[in-house]
Amino acid sequence: MPNSAKATLSKADQAGNTALHEAAVGGSTIAQLEELLQAGVDVNQPNSAGRLPLHTVCSVGYYDPELPTYLSEQGKWIMERTKDVDACDKNTIRPLHLASMMSEYLVQGLLAAGADPAGATSEGLTPLHLAARARQSNITGILLEALAKAGIISQHVDARDDLGRAPLHYACRSGRSETVGLLLAAGAAPTAQDEQGMTPLEACTEFEEE
């Protein structure tokens, strides 16, 4: 590849996105990703929002039943080359927070790579909050298993966000009974109150609004 082409590929756009950020959205092949790497594009370079290409691939709006093969391969490739899979963007959002709302495959990969299943955003939202809110029962189960394996499930199954809400509040609000059952079986408190005094049962009344 000519040096001029390499220089062009290594440049970031106005939002700080590199060619690897763009490739993570566009569904590039492994060969194309390798070409970008050889051209000097850094897989660990954040954009202006502090997001790595790993954040980008974890935010692509595909769900596992429709997860294209290229996306799973691409996610694995980027994950394996990311120095810190728990890197926070400027809003303290980690790749696992994004993946927890949509992809069992990426969640399992991130956890296997050492991502913290209990890491919280600046708003106090953990992956468990986000999976429950996104109606992701299978991901909720995966996260609960990871917390149990780490021996910290009792401290985090009722983790509170800035509104005083536990994952069970969001599970009830989402109307996904499977998620509610998983959280209760893991020891979530059914009478926990948020800052407004609302219990998870009362959060069910917000289902239609959600």
pLDDT tens, position by position, 176-205:
899 999 999 999 999 999 999 998 888 776
pLDDT at 62 over 70: no
Report the pLDDT value the prediction gives residue 54, as an integer from 0 to 100.
Answer: 96
101 within 8 A of 128, measured Cβ to Cβ: no
Ranges for all domains in the chain classified under CATH 1.25.40.20: 1-85, 116-210
Of the options 1.10.10.10, 1.10.1270.20, 1.10.3720.10, 1.25.40.20, the CATH number for the domain spanning 1-85:
1.25.40.20
Cα(106)–Cα(56) distance, rounded to whole angstroms? 12
User: May I ask the CATH class of domain 116-210?
Assistant: mainly alpha
Report the pLDDT value the prediction gives residue 52, as an integer from 0 to 100.
Answer: 97
The reported pTM is 0.89
Report the pLDDT value the prediction gives residue 95, as an integer from 0 to 100.
Answer: 97
